[in-house]
A and B are shown apart, each in its own frame.
Chain A
Amino acid sequence: DTAVSQTPKYLVTQMGNDKSIKCEQNLGHDTMYWYKQDSKKFLKIMFSYNNKELIINETVPNRFSPKSPDKAHLNLHINSLELGDSAVYFCASSHSVEQFFGPGTRLTVL
């Protein structure tokens, strides 16, 4: 059984489009996260949700918006996509110290 899953695995789209990436965890964790990994493999936290409340919002453009319909899901919506948004986006979840990561979504903006 997959613990943290993301869809789609690959996403290719044009500049200016709006897209969403979905994340689901079946671990019963209270907290979920989104990370961005750039072309140099550098990973940075974007958002976290704890009990459906946004806890962290780093210096991320407001074109990015996390949406959590319930504790098991944290989706990432991106409006007006730009070339610089091309990256691999990872979802993660945690209950205490350890974080479990999804397989990633590779977003390519043309």
Chain B
Amino acid sequence: AQKITQTQPGMFVQEKEAVTLDCTYDTSDPSYGLFWYKQPSSGEMIFLIYQGSYDQQNATEGRYSLNFQKARKSANLVISASQLGDSAMYFCAMREGWGNTPLVFGKGTRLSVIA
């Protein structure tokens, strides 16, 4: 079974509008972390936001916020006031447990911001 599911292969958003990128996850471990990364065409992985499974509040980082719904096992990324530079691939990832475990990535969503 897929651990991370991103159901939107591609998304379009008008500049200055908000957009939500969907991510659902599957784990039986009570301790886990959820991450969102942005990957522009250059290939680098840019960390955007992190949510821990025990965090009570949704994470926010500037224009990025994570809509964490634990019971539904979803961790959607919300980007407010989209900019042309936001056009990129976006990956949701999960780390299970707190040891030296790797990140498992979803298939990604390609976001295109339209002027």
A binds B: no
Q: A residues engaging B (CB < 8 A)? A: none
